[in-house]
Structure 1
Amino acid sequence: MLTAIGTQTIETPRLILRRFAKGDGKSAFRNWCSDASVTTYLKWSAHSYPLITEQVVARWAREYHDPHCLHWAVTRKSHGDVIGGVSLTVKDLMDERAELGYSLGSAFWQQGYGSEAVQAVLDYGFDRVGLHRIEAFCDCQNQASAGLLRHLGFRQEGLHRGMCRLANGQFVDCLSFGLCADERPESEFAGDFCID
């Protein structure tokens, strides 16, 4: 049975993952949501105006009343700005299954921030929420995302033809990945998390 604890703050060696707050719109727009490189393989387009990001962030902040809402703003300890987001969407309470989603501003790619943030959320999902299985999907062309999932222990399980419609209207094939609680590798950040 899942523990409905919602989104709590997670601290890693370099990051703080926390709830989105109303005032996060400006930094989220600047560092992440307006970045067309980020949305190449996603269902949403890069935001054209800060107001769009502010409205989206405000909507996310309102969703935290749901104890199954698991959606984190990714911030660096050295700055407070939002540089990305990670979420777990509970798909089935009975099967204790959730879908992982993540994106990070391109200025922060290839620095280990993605692995660090996603690993923290995986640990939270399995250890605190009690998930049995976490699954993820990515565009077949998004080799960076597929590589991140493999690095974190996910197994590639299939190919779904025409599964997703991108923001540009194009349907793309997606790879599916899964990770069960009893098969995950040991966290490279084990013991470094302080969850309040």
Structure 2
Amino acid sequence: MNKLEIQTDRLTLRLIVNTDVEVIHRLHCLPETDEFNTLGIPENVQETHEVITPWIEANNVPNIRNYTFAIQHKTNNEFIGLFGLRLGPKKYNRAEVWYKLHLDYWSKGYATESLKAVLNYGFDVLKLHRIEAGCAVDNIGSAKVMEKVGMKQEGRKRKILPLQSGWSDSFEYAILETDLRS
């Protein structure tokens, strides 16, 4: 089992494990966090377990290519969200990130803090060239987070996200190893 942890001033990002299923299920069941997410609300904890089992398995291979982190607050070890880092083909030396925070922790800088930490890990440790992310065009909070850390909006994909509200366009963001990180 990999013991990778990424530390920030307020947070610990650690690889998810089977015992996280209940807190992840509660996160996935919140309509507010599902609004801009394509996963959908799971019917029961078993469905959540089926979703996260491949994520846990991917975390436990010798050369991880698809990381899924639990975000925990350092003061009380409370689970506040998830963060993903998926490496692309080695030739392109790039990755994609995603995050999902419990609504009680929105607008407090935790997503920005987590994203900065993962970008630093990607560029400084994994030696990536490029890290990408996307968000629904109406997900203003997520777009602001990406812009705060120095990611640049590169384009817009039309009607690519199957959300509860219908098909949504997606803003595409990226940052390069040579770009200024805030």
Deviations 1:111-149 (A, max 9, x none): 111111111111101110111001111111111111111
CA contact (8 A) 1:99 1:135 kept: yes
1:13-28, aligned counterparts within 5 Å? 13-28=9-24
Shift of 1:82: 2.3
Shift of 1:7: 7.5
User: How large is the RMSD of aligned CA atoms in angstroms?
Assistant: 1.8
Residue 118 of structure 1: aligned partner: 115
Alignment gaps of 5+ in structure 1:
1-5, 187-196
Alignment gaps of 5+ in structure 2:
none
User: Are 2:22 and 1:33 equivalent residues in the alignment?
Assistant: no
Q: For residues 48 and 41 of structure 1, what CA distance do their matches in structure 2 show? A: 18
Question: Among residues 167, 170, 174, which one is paired with 2:166 in the alignment?
Answer: 170
Q: Secondary structure at the match of 2:181?
A: coil
TM-score, scaled relative to structure 1: 0.84
1:76-155, aligned counterparts within 5 Å? 76-155=73-152
Closer/same/farther in 2, CA of residues 123 and 7 from structure 1, 3 Å limit? farther
Q: Which has the higher contact order (CA 8 A, sep 6+)?
A: 1
CA contact (8 A) 1:36 1:46 kept: yes
Give aligned pairs, total: 179
Question: Among residues 125, 143, 154, which one is paired with 1:157 in the alignment?
Answer: 154
Closer/same/farther in 2, CA of residues 74 and 67 from structure 1, 3 Å limit? same
Q: Secondary structure at the match of 1:122?
A: helix
Percent identity (aligned): 27
Residue 10 of structure 1: aligned partner: 6
Q: For residues 91 and 111 of structure 2, what CA distance do their matches in structure 1 show? A: 29
Counterpart residue type for residue 84 of structure 1: G
TM-score, scaled relative to structure 2: 0.90
Moved more, 71-80 or 106-115: 71-80
